[in-house]
Structure 1
Amino acid sequence: MAEHTGETRNEQLTRNVGELLQELRVAQAGVQILFGFLLSVVFTDRFHDASGFEKSLHLSAVVLAMASTALLTAPAAWHRLLFRTGSRERILTVGNKLVLVGLVCLALAITCTVALIAKVVYGEISMIIMAVLSVLIFGTLWFVMPIRLNPADGDQPTGPPK
């Protein structure tokens, strides 16, 4: 039996896979909207007049959004391909790592996009300020705070109180 929940190991793995896939639905919506926006920018008249640096920043955002899409959809694809093969634990272990890297790519893609917009609209200083601010916000909310909220003692439950 799994600790704290009264579930069997298989029930816990099934629930964890379901939770992972549900979390991916939330992240994927954001990356799809961003990716669509980035792809459409290339077809505007203003983009053709952009500097080489601005085009490079845009391409960096596109590549990061593409990588994020691939990384965030991989666990769902793996689940479909490996359904009922007894691979849930491996899907969760590797899938969790892929999702974390995918979230880093998503945060960087958004940062590049925000920096590009700030550069085009307000200039280089605004670009730097917005990029730093974006990295700080994502880094703090997505990575620093969860690490700090994690109980020091691994035996403590991490879910909400009942």
Structure 2
Amino acid sequence: MSDGSVERDQDDEWNYRARHETETQRLDRNWAALLQELRVVQTGVQLLTGFLLTLPFQQRFTDLTDFEVIVYLMTVALSVLSTMLLVAPAGFHRVLFRRHALPALVSAAHKLTVCGIATFGAALVGVVLLIFSFVVSPRVGLVAAVVAAGIFCGLSVLAAILRLRNRVDDDPPTSDQRRSDRD
């Protein structure tokens, strides 16, 4: 068994003990949570994509340098890709609807969402680079983009790092665990 499946088995056991839910109930809950997350993220992605798609029709678009045009095109590509990745779970659901494929649906939608959020973050960094480069200078644009990338990555992994650092199990410790903690 791989590490991922051991971790998943432990998670399944915890969910059953703590929530008294079956695997199907857990998958339903995970799907509902994923849909809520998609609703939040998709709004931002769609607004960004719409904004980017209108830029070439603005009068000052011709003032962009070759570097800024390349950054713009890469950013549009990332934003459109992000939109596609974050909309794909709905299409995947339609294809798998009533086929009893909830485990595959939740797993694939999770992966698509993670990729969609990552490409959205890259698109946001591209927008920061483009705007700061256009308004101030390419050098300032690069600095601002690095800062934005650091913030996005930091916020994306901050919860996981804090969780691992302060490893708190939701189950109360057993008497053996309490004894070993005192030793």
After TM superposition, the score normalised by the length of structure 1 is: 0.89
Structure 1 runs not aligned, ≥5 long: none
Q: 2 CA distance for matches of 1:77 and 1:70?
A: 10
- Quick check: 109-118 or 149-158, which moved more? 149-158
Q: 1 CA distance for matches of 2:166 and 2:92?
A: 32
1:16-55 alignment runs, 5 A limit? 16-55=30-69
Richer in helix (by share): 2
Match of 2:158 in 1: 145
Q: 1 CA distance for matches of 2:163 and 2:99?
A: 32
Match of 2:135 in 1: 121
**Is 2:51 the counterpart of 1:61?**
no
In structure 2, relative to structure 1, the CA distance for the partners of 1:122 and 1:23 (3 Å cut) is same
Aligned residue pairs, count: 157
**Is 2:160 the counterpart of 1:156?**
no
Higher-Rg member (1/2): 2
Identity of aligned residues (%): 36
After TM superposition, the score normalised by the length of structure 2 is: 0.79
**1:17 deviation in Å?**
0.6
Match of 1:10 in 2: 24
1:130-141 alignment runs, 5 A limit? 130-141=144-155
**Is 2:106 the counterpart of 1:89?**
no
Structure 2 runs not aligned, ≥5 long: 1-14, 172-183
In structure 2, relative to structure 1, the CA distance for the partners of 1:63 and 1:12 (3 Å cut) is same
In structure 2, relative to structure 1, the CA distance for the partners of 1:83 and 1:154 (3 Å cut) is farther
Does 1 or 2 have the higher relative contact order (CA < 8 Å, sep 6+)? 1
Q: 2 CA distance for matches of 1:109 and 1:90?
A: 28
The list of structure 1 runs, each at least 4 consecutive aligned residues, that deviate by more than 4 angstroms after superposition, is: 151-155
**1:157 deviation in Å?**
3.9
Give the aligned residue type for 2:44.
G
Q: 2 CA distance for matches of 1:84 and 1:155?
A: 38
User: RMSD value over aligned CA atoms?
Assistant: 2.1
